[in-house]
Amino acid sequence: MPAAIRSFSSENPQHDNNPKRVPKGFEGFFGGGKKGGPTGQRNPHEEQRKRQQKKPDGPSPPPPSVGTWLPLLAAISFAYILGMPSGATSREVTWQDFRTMLLDRGLVQRLIVVNGGDVRVVLRPEAAHMVHGPQAQGGYHFTIGSIDAFERKLDQAQEELGIPTNERIPVSYHQEVSLLGAALTMAPTLLIIGFLIYMGRRAAGGAGGAGGPGGIFNIGKSKAKMFNHETDVKVKFKDVAGAEEAKEEIMEFVKFLKDPQVYERLGATIPKGAILSGPPGTGKTLLAKATAGEAGVPFLSVSGSEFVEMFVGVGPSRVRDLFATAKKNAPCIIFVDEIDAIGKARGKGGQIGGNDERESTLNQLLVELDGFDTSQHVVVLAGTNRPDVLDPALLRPGRFDRHITIDRPDIKGRVEIFKVHMKPIKIDAKNRDELTEKLAALTPGFAGADIHNVCNEAALIAARKMKDAVTEIDFEQAIERVIAGIEKKSRVLSPEEKKTVAYHEAGHAIAGWFLEHADPLLKVSIIPRGSAALGYAQYIPKDQYLYSKKQLLDRMCMTLGGRVSEQLFFDTITTGAHDDLQKVTKMAYAQIGTYGMNSKVGPLSYGDPTDEQRFQKPFSEATGEMIDTEVRSLVNEAYQRTFDLLTAKRDSIEKVAELLLSKEVISREDMEGMLGKRPFPDKHPRIQEAPEESIHPPDFEPDAPHRDS
């Protein structure tokens, strides 16, 4: 039994050469659990070695100097002094103690009322022998509620003591302000003054000049974003589709930035800048990023509106800082998006109004563009949708030498753009190339951003239907969604309105079917879409840049088909042709006043008559009256021609309208089934054409805008 007890007891450490067996994870709770000698014994050499290992490799920070702590100690001492009460050495007593200890014994010389609430007691000189303790030198004080009550109690006490009136204790009244209260009162003012002095000293270092601190709040610094080619700019020219000509022109900049010696050894200089102009969404910014990605250089991106602020001089300051940053990171590309915000033509002398700050920014930009040489390897690209409003000095050779126009892509460009945007989409199609060609034919006039929107909408539609892949039908619905708007299932038309819409759209379809130069029909629908469209017709015209007088007349007749059909089949006309009449009027004015297609007006062009910026007409009143007369005559001629055509095809209109009322959507195949083949051969195959949707929905809501294509 004793042996068993000894087996559970601890051994004598003096006779045990092995250290204690400490459970794993509990070494920190036992002094001898660490590696080293036995418990209680330390090796000084081992501890010194460990301390040396714990020291950091770098130099140790210097100890804080006296100058570091001195301002802090001074501030603490000053705050302590301010916070000390002025009567810290006096003793506070009650009124009863004051009367029994001091007043009744005749030890009070005078009383001082401070700030109407505290009474200080000044004792007589002989009171030092009668009052023992530190209060004999410091005095006493007590608090009162009101001065009137204090005076009444004091007079009553002195009357009870029998003190004559001429020997009573004098009372004086003082107003005192503590140092702490005064400091707190002045603190906001002092802080504001100190802040202004501090910011003024910062601004004195330079109001945002090249490399300067940027003035107050750093407002003079450029807001350009720096993209490093190794991390951010991953876009290459292969990611930009539909702009082959623009890529060829801008490739010169890439070759120059990659290998400038090839040009410099021949005495050539690279253009200092290029203006990328074109409609919105055509890929101007994307092309600039691809240029930076291909050249492998830093890319500075800034918007033209970021140069304009409410402070005078900020715009030129930011321009200087932008170019200073570019020179430090050369070779570099600067891209100024929407440069028309600061690059508009400067006003002539004597004009009322103006924008001096914007013009100063433009002047600084002109100086910077013309100030650095090509050896610095800085290329400036700018994007704008309005190249016509830019200042001529900005566009001259030596600043922006090249003007690169990025237009909406043609049919081949749209095919390539669809291929780029359809890569990440899971598509249920056997032949992707055939699908992209068909979609490109259905999206004429679409820019790259519009095509990306179509692909995204198709994926959203497929996901909404819980499909595993995106089908061709989803893409067609997405195109209709982008062109005409979302289907308004909640908008329920009355039977009379639905019949009117059907005959209106049937009139458009029949007029276009039997006119030679009208666009081939693709689809007709009477499903309400968008904000005001109650129906629409979709056509597939070819790529065409020149139109004859006969072609324009056929287009006018097709556009008037809806109004003529209403007149033929109903007793009254509706507001559904509002948008059609606007289009016809615009085409008629363009033929007579712009294209010179009228014998009476002659071969004259007066510009766009719908230009809102024009304050006066460039012709006389007599000429204007003549133009109005000829426009009315031309529209009436087209209307009568359409009326005669649809009167002869009245039965065909009824067939199409009845089919629309039953199916709501009919296609080209349905039209061919009812009317036979179109009497005029299609000059271009569908896939090789650049189709364009012309939407002619009747709007029966008064004063509601019509949906344009």
| Catalytic residue ranges | 505
State the helix-helix crossing angle for 495-513 and 668-675, rounded to 10 degrees.
80
Q: Name the residue among 337, 82, 294 with its Cα closest to residue 186.
A: 82
- Would you mind telling me the total number of residues written for the chain in this entry? 709
d(CA 477, CA 473): 6
Half-sphere exposure of 702 (CA within 13 A, CB side): 0
Q: What is the Cα–Cα distance from 473 to 480, expressed in whole angstroms?
A: 11
Integer Cα distance of 529 and 95 in angstroms: 91
Q: Are 176 and 115 in contact (CB under 8 A)?
A: yes
Alpha-carbon distance 192 to 486, whole Å?
A: 57
* Spatial distance between the Cα atoms of 141 and 153, rounded to a whole number of angstroms: 16
| Spacing of C-alpha 216 from chain mean position | 24
Distances (CA, A) of 366 to 272, 286, 383, 653, 692: 12, 25, 16, 63, 42
Question: What residues have CB less than 8 Å from 456, skipping those under 6 apart?
Answer: none
DSSP 8-state secondary structure symbol assigned to residue 591:
I
> Which long-range contacts does 657-660 make (Cβ < 8 Å, 24+ apart)?
657/499, 657/502, 657/503, 657/505, 657/506, 657/569, 658/502, 660/502, 660/505, 660/506, 660/524, 660/526
CB atoms within 10 A of CB 281: 17
Distance CA 26, CA 10 (A): 18
Contact 554, 518 (CB under 8 A): yes
Instruction: Check if the beta carbon of residue 521 is closer than 8 Å to that of residue 514.
Output: no
Distance, CA of 143 to CA of 117 (rounded, Å): 6
CA distances 525 to 522, 653, 676, Å, are: 10, 15, 20
The DSSP code sequence of 418-438 is: HHHHTTTS-B--S-HHHHHHH
The first and second tokens of residue 593, run together, are 């006043």
How many other CB atoms sit within 10 Å of the CB of residue 353? 5
Contacts of 237 (CB under 8 A, 6+ apart): 247, 251, 290, 294
Distance CA 697, CA 82 (A): 83
Q: Which residues are CB-contacts of 413 (< 8 A; sequence separation ≥ 6)? A: 241, 242, 243, 244
Residue 326, classified by CB atoms within 10 Å of its CB into exposed (0-12), middle (13-18) or buried (19+), is buried
Cβ-contact 128, 136 below 8 angstroms: yes
Nearest one of 437, 426, 489 to 462, comparing CA atoms: 426
Biggest CA–CA distance in the chain, Å, is 137
Beta pairing, strands 91-92 & 140-143:
parallel
CA angle (392 as vertex; 391, 393 as ends), nearest 5: 90
210 CB burial (10 A radius; 0-12, 13-18, 19+) = middle
Q: Where are the alpha helices (DSSP H) in 24-90?
A: 44-54, 66-83
Find out whether 594 and 606 touch, Cβ atoms under 8 Å. yes
